[in-house]
Amino acid sequence: MARPIHIDLKLVAKAKRTVRATRNLDDFRSALAVLLPAQAGLTLQETADMLGVGTASVNRLQTRFHLGRTSSSGRRNWGGRRTSLLTSQEEIDFLEPWAEQAREAGLLVLSPIRAALAQRVGHPVKASVVWRLLARHGWRKVAPDTKHPKNDPRIMQAWKKNSPKLWLPCSERTS
């Protein structure tokens, strides 16, 4: 059974005033998210269907209206990096010595970068964090060569010709 709804009459009165006065769609939706359940007795799902949003958004709209936040109050959008370890500039500064090493050697190994990042932030980090950090700054993982540098085609061909066959075709196994 659903929890009973507690209606704050002052909040409903404020929502009515907002619906009549506002010209902003976000503020209008927030006020309706409060009014529809209070005045029409709609459930959370029915309110979400009426407003064309999800049920979680209805709760967000109600909370925003209750706290007095308007669309012009400078609220933060949902996108972006909310849990970054370093700021963008700190990431650039962190990668600068590694960029020098990459220019000189032409190759970087992930584990030292990961260890240095863990030391910088003060706790262990996963390899995927480092890969995403590198990708954000335009670095990419270069696939290894298809052939080993010490590969000798003559030795390979000789091995293919002279190697014993340890398998039998399917037709010979049955007999």
Q: Which two tokens stand for residue 144?
A: 């290894």
Q: Give the model confidence (pLDDT) of 137-149 as tens digits.
A: 988 876 666 777 7
Supply the pLDDT for residue 49.
93
Supply the pLDDT for residue 79.
72
Q: Give the model confidence (pLDDT) of 98-157 as tens digits.
A: 988 888 877 788 899 999 999 999 999 999 999 999 999 988 876 666 777 788 888 888
Supply the pLDDT for residue 130.
93
The ranges assigned to domains in the chain are: 9-66, 88-136
Helices H, strands E: what count in the chain?
A: 9, 0
What do you get for the CA distance between the two ends of the chain, in Å? 71
Instruction: Output Rg (C-alpha) for the chain, integer angstroms.
Output: 31
Reported pTM:
0.44
Q: Give the model confidence (pLDDT) of 36-67 as tens digits.
A: 998 888 888 999 999 999 999 998 898 888 88
DSSP 160: H
Question: Is the separation of the CB atoms in 31 and 3 below 8 Å?
Answer: no
Domain 9-66: top CATH class: mainly alpha
Lowest-pLDDT choice from 4-13, 15-24, 161-170: 161-170
Question: Taking all residues of the chain, what is their mean pLDDT, rounded to a whole number?
Answer: 84
Report DSSP letters for 94-159, one per residue.
HHHHHHHHHHHHS---HHHHHHHHHHHHTS---HHHHHHHHHHTT--PPPPPSS-TT--HHHHHHH
Percent of the chain with pLDDT over 90: 33
Residue type, 86: L
Farthest CA pair distance, the chain:
92
Supply the pLDDT for residue 119.
96
Supply the pLDDT for residue 106.
74
> Using N-to-C axis directions, what is the helix angle for 9-21 and 25-35, rounded to 10°?
150
Supply the pLDDT for residue 109.
85
Supply the pLDDT for residue 163.
72
Q: Residue-wise over 115-130: b if at least 16 C-beta within 10 A, else e?
A: eebbeeeeeebeeeeb
Supply the pLDDT for residue 123.
95
